[in-house]
Amino acid sequence: MNSGQLRQIPISSVATIHYKDTYGGIKRKNLKRVITLSSEVLSGYTANEVVAKINQSLPAYNMTKGVEISLTGEREDQQETMVFLIKAMMIAIGLIFFILITQFGSLSKSFIILSEVIFSVIGVLLGIAIFGMSISVIMTGLGIVALGGIVVRNGILIVEFGDELKSRGMKTRDSIIQAGKTRITPVVLTATATMLGLVPLAVGMNINFVTLFTDLNPHIYFGGDNRAFWGPLSWTIIFGLSFATFLTLVFVPAMVMIDAQMVAGIRRRRSNRIARKLRKKQ
């Protein structure tokens, strides 16, 4: 008996010890063991480029059965942001569509005006592809959502003025042509003013107003963190607005004319059908 005394026994006397590397802890996600590997992205590369190269290299490895690889980090954050922006875009378009219907009382004219959103997205993609710019999911997405509310204004000006001229007794074709001629100046001026106002933000123009007033030296320089953060948003609006404005002056009047001809044709066929039924009854 040890009479209550504590005695120490070396572990080597009852076990064989081997030193090797292992995990400091076991993490689980949905009851499955998870190992996280992280790394910084080298300068000159983006997270999307690195992810694409990893996906190309993965098929060359023979993975153990039951092992799954999922890429998270910035890629996962981008996917969540993209889902949120898509929902925001759909809500914004739905609200704009509701307002257009209440204003014009016509589904076709509302769709014609909303088609400018598609034109603006095409302009954004073309501008980014032509100038070789990178896409920022957050800021580019916000720019596209903002374009949804900016570009429809030009279509509203043309369609509304055309309806006003038509209500005064002018023919449909003449009212559309006159609306395009009359509204081309305010449409171009407002779009140009918006794009020029975004240029300093797009190029990262910085002015030191303190030294401007004290030493008459503004220390103007371009670039910096402002350009990296706000540049994608500004260029998105500039590309989309310039492309959509040009197409607005061409396609919107043409689509309004096609819509008027289709409505007139439907009414004509309906009246002829009613007239034939009346003749048969007689």
Rounded Cα–Cα distance for residues 5 and 78 (Å): 63
Question: Mean of the pLDDT values across residues 94-123?
Answer: 86
Model pLDDT for residues 154-203, shown as the tens digit of each residue: 888 888 888 888 888 888 888 888 888 888 888 888 888 988 988 888 88
pLDDT for res 282: 65
Helices 74-104/137-150 angle, 10° precision:
0
Q: Do 94 and 209 touch, CB atoms closer than 8 A?
A: no
Return the CATH number of 76-281, one of 3.40.50.2020, 1.20.1640.10, 3.40.50.300, 3.30.230.10: 1.20.1640.10
Of the candidates 266, 264, 200, which has an alpha carbon nearest to the alpha carbon of residue 235? Answer: 200
Query: Could you tell me the pTM of the whole model?
Result: 0.70
The pLDDT of residue 40 is above 80: no
Question: Mean of the pLDDT values across residues 89-97?
Answer: 86
The pLDDT of residue 2 is above 60: no
Q: Where are the domains of the chain?
A: 76-281
Q: Which residues lie below 8 Å from residue 54, measured CB to CB, with a gap of 6+?
A: 71
